[in-house]
A and B are shown apart, each in its own frame.
Chain A
Amino acid sequence: SQTIHQWPATLVQPVGSPLSLECTVEGTSNPNLYWYRQAAGRGLQLLFYSVGIGQISSEVPQNLSASRPQDRQFILSSKKLLLSDSGFYLCAWSRDAKNIQYFGAGTRLSVL
């Protein structure tokens, strides 16, 4: 069966520090991968998606970037965090024609 892992679960970072969140999928190959952000009490905002290694599409211009160095690995990064980067970050994957997205447990990021 397929599983998706996200880490860390919780992160507190000072403004101006770098960020690296990692997401990996097991049990499937060539998945579509997604990064979402959810601000407190708000809906989900799609940040990036990837259909293959090295292929990244950005939905919202911002202080963040994404990379896909391996087939089942998706990384969300920032060189310098802003206060507005605080939120709940969710990684998701999809694979089959049903287009169902399956989500990780998320990372709660607080930028202070």
Chain B
Amino acid sequence: AQKVTQAQTEISVVEKEDVTLDCVYETRDTTYYLFWYKQPPSGELVFLIRRNSFDEQNEISGRYSWNFQKSTSSFNFTITASQVVDSAVYFCALSEVYNFNKFYFGSGTKLNVKP
């Protein structure tokens, strides 16, 4: 069965600190997708990144970076020099490649960035 675990329920940091959000997943599939979404206080989920299981290259987008390690089944998300606008709930998710309807979301990590 597919499962995504985000063990950090809530994290608080001071602005400009770096913060890493952990995501560990379980799947028997050899091919799958991993995602990160941001949910600001307004509620709408915003897509951040999708990673194919074949591509273990880390990715950097501005202050955001993602570390995908199949050996540990982890897909961690780091925000460098955090800002107050980064305050949100962040969800990690896994989807099956051959069943496009199934997303498995983690329970989310609430990030509080204080000025």
Contacts and interface: CB of A to CB of B under 8 A. Distances in A.
Interface of A is mostly: strand
Given A43-B91, A43-B108, A44-B91, A51 B45 contact: no
Contacts of A92: 45
Contacts of A32: 100-101
A24 B53 CA distance: 31
Interface range, B side: 20 to 34
Q: Which of A42, A90, A103, A108 has the most CB of B within 10 A?
A: A103
21 contacts: A43-B105, A51-B101, A57-B101, A88-B43, A90-B45, A92-B45, A99-B33, A99-B50, A99-B95, A99-B100, A100-B35, A100-B50, A101-B47, A101-B103, A102-B47, A103-B44, A103-B45, A105-B42, A105-B44, A106-B43, A106-B44
